[in-house]
Structure 1
């Protein structure tokens, strides 16, 4: 996995709408310049998307105010190490590059990157030995950008953070990234989630956000707590890992355009009823 962080400069003062869709288009433009076939596949391919955008910082309306000569950062998470390795090598060597965001040029000042091995990351996420002995685990997910889920076999929207929707969709992404590390089919895992993971608290609301000139996306934002009563179960530990994968992959429809961005916190019961934070190794 690669985490790319772009630092760009604004040549104009302006307010822009939610930046995720425009930044996806700009990034794919850079990809197409370097590797046209890969750029076309990332844009048009039918496979599970293995990248996601982390947009510019935004206000409560998901808009961003840009000031002239100020620097701004956005991220791109490339979740498949071997597929994107040649691209990253070429991209970090770019000089005098620029992107176009809502019709205006923005020079690219710097591209930083971090590299992670997927299996090592999953181990770090789930390797705290206290998880095995805890009577209960609590996964808190804060949905920072509107999140859309879909009904199985339908284009209809599903605007509730049902664990049966959230975690099997993350398993599909992990199957593309983790390969042989998948211990269960999506259907079997969905059945397990249905009986073992429950929503214990939520405070969400729906919010519309325009991600392109033609697409107005409506999704939910807010906080959701998921409880697992037997964290020692291997599938429970996988679920804890998938919840943290979501910080890189985003969740749901249009996640490659920055929708479904989440922050995840995991807590475990210390045996005395106290919930303590479980941090990655």
Structure 2
């Protein structure tokens, strides 16, 4: 969509200034004027009526790229094609977020539920890079979060392995759904994991990990985030909440 009007901006978004993309996507949300059918001419069994509405959320991590993107969206007649149907831009909402405030703004809790809403995978921290990590390993999760937090704030953070030592997995349910990708990529996993803090975790540890995960709600986590992978939702559990069903929630699928 952007490449048609500004190829330089498209290159900046995908390659950044150090080879890393500087944006992430949330999946399209269809708001009205659509229906899901079991079969039909449209890919995925979705058909649209005239006047159908959808929304797309983009997070941009580079100030120059963000300014240029907003300028294009505000002044150019951009359209988005979905299943052969052209959608025009009718509204634009902008949020300016301070990453440091997001990271430092969380309370200390006893546990965190992390839900992986879209397929997620992590690049291995060591060894053969041809394989991907297809489960919510805390060290790989924190490595993704720390890398983004450092890039966005310039601050130093503990090593991912040090953060992973502060939690344990007390509940887990994941699936690896089949999906069609536009280029070779792992299917990834969806589901949830419950991270409970160990007894030696300090208040500062709890606040930092909760804040990093909250930032991950904005940036996505893991690989292929420019295609909408790695969308997460985080909820906090204080005190003994959630302990009753914990033994029932420890199975993986």
Q: Same fold judged by TM-score > 0.5?
A: yes
**In structure 1, which of residues 203, 220, 241 is the aligned counterpart of residue 211 of structure 2?**
241
Task: Give me the whole-angstrom Cα distance separating, in 1, the residues matched to 2:119 and 2:157.
Answer: 31
Task: Give me the whole-angstrom Cα distance separating, in 2, the residues matched to 1:274 and 1:108.
Answer: 43
**In structure 1, which of residues 52, 55, 62 is the aligned counterpart of residue 24 of structure 2?**
52
**In structure 1, which of residues 177, 184, 198 is the aligned counterpart of residue 168 of structure 2?**
198
Q: CA shift at 1:42, angstroms?
A: 2.2
Query: Which stretch shows the higher mean deviation, 147-156 or 254-263?
Result: 147-156
Alignment of 1:74 onto 2:56: yes
Alignment of 1:170 onto 2:145: yes
**In structure 1, which of residues 224, 227, 231 is the aligned counterpart of residue 193 of structure 2?**
224
Aligned length: 228
**In structure 1, which of residues 125, 137, 140 is the aligned counterpart of residue 110 of structure 2?**
137
- Are the aligned partners of 1:48 and 1:176 in contact in 2 as well (CA < 8 Å)? no
Q: TM-score, normalised by structure 2?
A: 0.78
- Are the aligned partners of 2:14 and 2:23 in contact in 1 as well (CA < 8 Å)? no
Over aligned residue pairs, what C-alpha RMSD do you find?
2.8
SS of corresponding position for 1:86: helix
Q: TM-score, normalised by structure 1?
A: 0.71
Give 5+ residue unaligned stretches, structure 1.
1-25, 277-281
Q: CA shift at 1:47, angstroms?
A: 3.4
Post-superposition Cα deviations, 1:95-122, rounded to whole Å, max 9, x if no partner, equal 4321234554321222211112222222
After TM superposition, what 4+ stretches of structure 1 lie above 4 angstroms from structure 2? 61-64
SS of corresponding position for 2:56: strand
| Structure 1 residues 218 and 194, CA gap change in structure 2 (3 angstroms) | same
More helix by share: 1
| Structure 1 residues 123 and 64, CA gap change in structure 2 (3 angstroms) | farther
| Structure 1 residues 163 and 152, CA gap change in structure 2 (3 angstroms) | same
**In structure 2, which of residues 8, 12, 19 is the aligned counterpart of residue 41 of structure 1?**
12
Q: What does 1:75-90 align with in structure 2 at a 5 Å threshold? A: 75-80=57-62, 82-90=63-71
- Are the aligned partners of 2:14 and 2:22 in contact in 1 as well (CA < 8 Å)? no
SS of corresponding position for 1:201: strand
**In structure 2, which of residues 71, 77, 94 is the aligned counterpart of residue 96 of structure 1?**
77
Alignment of 1:113 onto 2:94: yes
Query: Which stretch shows the higher mean deviation, 90-99 or 249-258?
Result: 90-99
| Structure 1 residues 251 and 63, CA gap change in structure 2 (3 angstroms) | farther
Aligned to 1:22: none
Post-superposition Cα deviations, 1:62-105, rounded to whole Å, max 9, x if no partner, equal 9572412211111101133x233422441342243212345543
- Are the aligned partners of 1:143 and 1:260 in contact in 2 as well (CA < 8 Å)? yes
Task: Give me the whole-angstrom Cα distance separating, in 1, the residues matched to 2:25 and 2:103.
Answer: 21
